[in-house]
C-alpha cells in the first residue's frame, strides 16, 4: 500500500465508525468493494486492473454461496450493494475519472455486462449445486482454489497466462512477463476461502451473512499482506462495532505510526545495502556477505511486520482486532519458537489445516505404525515445503522450505535428547542457562539468515554461489 492509500483508508474507516449502526454495515461493504479496486496495482494487460478485483469478488461470493446456510433477508440486499459498488467503478469510465478507483479505464460497458452475466449464471449454478452432494462440490472448490494458486505462483505458467490474457485483450503476446499478472491479495484471499471450504466440508456449520463474509475475506487493511484472520473471530468483532470512538482509537494511531516507521524508514533504508538478486555478485568477502544477508533479514522483517502493524492499526480504527503476526522472532532461542512468532497467522493456518490433520492421519495407522521421528520429519518437512511453495512454485522456494523443515526436525530431535538437561540448567544453574540461551539464539539467527539466501535470490546457481562465499 502507498502512503496515500493508508491515509484514505484511515479516514474512511474513521468516518464509517461514527456513522449510525443502521447505515454503517452497508456503507462498510460498499467501501470495501471500492477499495479492492483502489488497491489493485496497475497491470499492463488492458482492463485487468478492473477484472482482477472483479474476479476476487466473484470467487468470494461463489464460495459463500456454496458454504453458507444463511437465510437472512439482508443477503440479497448485500448482493445488490456489492453489484452497485462494482457498477460505480465501471461508470467512472463514462465520467472520465477512471484513475480515481482504477489505474486505467474500466472495460467497455458491453464487456462489463457480459462479465456480470457470466458471474450471475455461475451464482445461480452454485446455489443449485449446494443442495446436491455438498462434499463433492466443496472438494471441487478446494481443488480449484489450490489449482488457481499453483497457476499464479508458478513463473512459467504465469507467463503463459500473461500471453493468453494479452491475446484476448488484443495486445502483443511477445511482451508477456510474470509481472503482468499482479492479482491483489490472491494468496491471502485463497487461504481465507480455503479455511471456510475445508471447515464446511468437515461438518462445521457456516451461516455468515454475505456482506459480513465479503468484508472478512476482502478486508482492505489485511488484503495485500495479512494477517490471515479466522472468520468466526472476525465476525465477533464486526458484530461488536459501535458508533463510538473508544480507547482503541489512540492505540490504533500508535500502531499505524510504528508500522509506518518500520516500513518506510527502516525497511526502505535497509533495502539500499541489503542483499538482493541484483547485487549478490558484489559481496565477495564472507564478512560483507554476512552483513548484506543480515541487512536483508532485517529488511524483510521490518517490511512485513510494518505492514502487519499498519493493518492491525487500521483494523482497530473500525473496531476490528486483527491477530498479531510477529512477536520478536529474531530474539527466540530456537527455530521452532522462531516460526511460532514469524508470520504467526500463516503458521497457525498451516498447522490447523495441514500439520495437525497429517499428524493425526499418520498416527492413526495402527496396522503399519510409523516411528515417531519419521512422522515428525514428514509432517514438518511437508509443512515448510507448502509455506515455501505458497511464496512461489520455484526450486529456490522449495530449497528454502526444505532448509527450514530440516532445521525444525533437527531441533525437535535435539530437544528430545537435551530437554532434561536444559530444565536442570533453568532451575539450578541460571547463569549457565542464560549463556546457553544466548548461544542458542545466535545459532538460530545465523541459521535463519542463511536460509534467506534462497528466498531473495531467484537463480539457484547465483544462490549457491553466494552461499559458498559465506564460509
Q: Give 261's pLDDT tier (boundaries 50, 70, 90).
A: very high
CA 92 to chain CA centroid, Å, is 30
- Pairwise pLDDT comparison (373 vs 257), residue with the higher score: 257
185-206: per-residue pLDDT in tens?
899 999 999 999 999 888 887 7
Q: Give 268's pLDDT tier (boundaries 50, 70, 90).
A: very high
Residue 383 lies in a domain: yes
**Cα-based distances in Å from 84 to 19, 62, 213, 222, 400:** 20, 17, 17, 23, 44
Do 307 and 225 form a contact (C-beta atoms < 8 A)?
Answer: yes
Residue 255 lies in a domain: yes
- Is residue 432 domain-shared with residue 403, that is, in the same domain? yes
Residue 155 CA neighbour count, 13 Å, CB half? 9
Report, as an integer, the average pLDDT of 206-222.
89
Mean pLDDT of the chain: 89
Q: Give 72's pLDDT tier (boundaries 50, 70, 90).
A: low
- Is residue 332 domain-shared with residue 211, that is, in the same domain? no
Residue 178 pLDDT > 80, yes or no?
yes
- Is residue 280 domain-shared with residue 179, that is, in the same domain? no
- At residue 266, the pLDDT reads 96
- Is residue 114 domain-shared with residue 222, that is, in the same domain? yes
Residue 134 lies in a domain: yes
- At residue 98, the pLDDT reads 59
User: Containing domain of residue 422, as a range?
Assistant: 250-469
Q: Give 269's pLDDT tier (boundaries 50, 70, 90).
A: very high
Last residue of a domain, one of 196, 215, 239: 239
The three grid cell numbers given for residue 413, joined into one nine-digit string:
530431535
95-128: per-residue pLDDT in tens?
776 577 888 888 899 999 999 999 999 998 888 8
Residue 7 lies in a domain: no
- At residue 21, the pLDDT reads 73
Dihedral (Cα; 317, 323, 326, 329), 10-degree rounding: 150
- At residue 224, the pLDDT reads 84
- At residue 112, the pLDDT reads 92
Residue 12 lies in a domain: no
- Is residue 215 domain-shared with residue 312, that is, in the same domain? no
- Pairwise pLDDT comparison (71 vs 439), residue with the higher score: 439
294-353: per-residue pLDDT in tens?
999 999 999 999 999 999 999 998 888 999 999 999 999 999 999 999 999 999 999 999
Last residue of a domain, one of 207, 239, 271: 239
Residue 1 lies in a domain: no
Report, as an integer, the average pLDDT of 165-180.
85
- Is residue 359 domain-shared with residue 333, that is, in the same domain? yes
- At residue 242, the pLDDT reads 64
- Is residue 230 domain-shared with residue 301, that is, in the same domain? no
- At residue 175, the pLDDT reads 81
- Is residue 220 domain-shared with residue 254, that is, in the same domain? no
Last residue of a domain, one of 239, 269, 288: 239
- Is residue 387 domain-shared with residue 465, that is, in the same domain? yes
Whole-model pTM over 0.75: yes
- Is residue 24 domain-shared with residue 45, that is, in the same domain? yes
227-248: per-residue pLDDT in tens?
999 888 888 888 877 656 566 7
Residue 287 lies in a domain: yes
340-397: per-residue pLDDT in tens?
999 999 999 999 999 889 888 888 877 777 888 888 899 999 999 999 999 999 999 9
* Total domains, the chain: 2
- Is residue 413 domain-shared with residue 435, that is, in the same domain? yes
Residue 427 pLDDT > 90, yes or no?
no
- Is residue 66 domain-shared with residue 91, that is, in the same domain? yes
Do 186 and 36 form a contact (C-beta atoms < 8 A)?
Answer: no
Do 359 and 383 form a contact (C-beta atoms < 8 A)?
Answer: no
Amino acid at each position: 500500500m502507498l502512503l496515500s492509500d493508508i491515509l484514505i483508508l484511515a479516514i474512511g474507516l474513521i468516518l464509517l465508525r461514527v456513522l449510525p449502526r443502521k447505515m454503517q454495515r452497508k456503507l462498510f461493504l460498499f467501501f470495501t468493494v471500492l477499495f479492492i479496486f483502489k488497491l489493485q496495482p496497475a497491470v499492463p494487460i488492458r482492463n485487468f486492473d478492473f477484472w482482477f478485483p472483479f474476479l476476487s469478488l466473484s470467487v468470494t461470493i461463489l464460495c459463500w454461496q456454496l458454504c453458507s446456510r444463511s437465510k437472512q433477508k439482508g443477503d440479497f440486499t448485500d448482493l445488490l450493494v456489492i453489484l452497485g459498488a462494482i457498477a460505480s467503478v465501471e461508470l467512472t469510465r463514462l465520467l472520465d475519472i477512471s484513475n480515481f478507483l482504477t489505474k486505467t479505464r474500466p472495460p467497455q460497458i458491453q464487456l462489463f455486462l457480459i462479465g456480470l452475466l457470466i458471474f450471475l449464471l455461475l451464482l445461480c449454478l452454485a446455489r443449485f449445486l449446494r443442495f446436491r452432494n455438498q462434499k463433492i462440490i466443496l472438494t471441487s472448490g478446494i481443488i480449484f482454489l489450490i489449482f488457481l494458486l499453483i497457476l499464479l505462483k508458478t513463473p512459467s505458467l504465469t507467463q503463459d497466462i500473461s500471453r493468453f490474457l494479452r491475446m484476448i485483450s488484443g495486445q502483443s503476446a511477445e511482451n508477456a512477463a510474470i509481472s503482468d499478472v499482479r492479482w491483489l491479495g490472491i494468496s491471502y484471499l485463497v487461504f481465507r476461502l480455503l479455511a471456510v471450504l475445508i471447515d464446511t466440508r468437515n461438518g462445521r456449520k457456516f451461516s455468515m451473512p454475505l456482506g459480513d463474509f465479503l468484508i472478512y475475506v476482502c478486508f482492505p487493511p489485511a488484503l495485500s499482506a495479512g494477517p490471515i484472520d479466522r472468520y468466526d473471530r472476525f465476525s465477533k468483532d464486526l458484530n461488536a462495532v459501535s458508533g463510538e470512538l473508544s480507547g482503541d482509537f489512540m492505540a490504533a494511531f500508535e500502531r499505524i505510526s510504528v508500522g509506518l516507521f518500520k516500513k518506510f524508514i527502516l525497511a526502505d533504508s535497509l533495502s539500499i545495502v541489503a542483499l538482493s538478486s541484483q547485487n549478490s555478485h558484489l559481496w565477495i568477502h564472507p564478512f560483507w556477505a554476512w552483513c548484506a544477508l543480515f541487512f536483508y533479514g532485517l529488511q524483510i522483517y521490518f517490511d512485513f511486520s510494518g505492514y502487519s502493524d499498519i493493518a492491525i492499526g487500521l483494523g482497530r480504527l473500525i473496531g476490528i482486532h486483527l491477530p498479531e503476526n510477529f512477536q520478536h522472532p529474531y530474539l527466540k532461542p530456537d527455530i521452532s519458537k522462531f516460526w511460532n512468532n514469524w508470520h504467526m497467522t500463516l503458521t497457525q493456518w498451516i498447522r490447523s489445516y495441514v500439520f495437525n490433520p497429517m499428524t493425526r492421519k499418520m498416527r492413526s495407522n495402527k496396522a503399519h505404525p510409523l516411528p515417531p521421528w519419521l512422522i515428525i520429519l514428514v509432517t514438518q518437512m511437508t509443512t515448510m515445503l507448502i509455506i515455501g511453495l505458497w511464496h512461489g512454485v520455484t526450486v529456490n522456494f522449495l530449497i528454502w522450505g526444505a532448509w527450514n523443515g530440516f532445521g525444525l526436525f533437527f531441533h525437535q530431535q535435539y530437544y528430545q535428547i537435551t530437554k532434561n538437561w536444559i530444565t536442570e540448567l533453568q532451575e539450578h544453574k541460571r547463569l549457565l542457562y542464560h549463556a546457553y540461551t544466548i548461544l542458542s539464539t545466535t545459532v538460530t539467527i545465523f541459521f535463519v539468515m542463511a536460509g534467506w539466501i534462497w528466498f531473495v535470490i531467484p537463480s539457484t546457481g547465483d544462490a549457491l554461489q553466494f552461499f559458498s562465499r559465506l564460509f
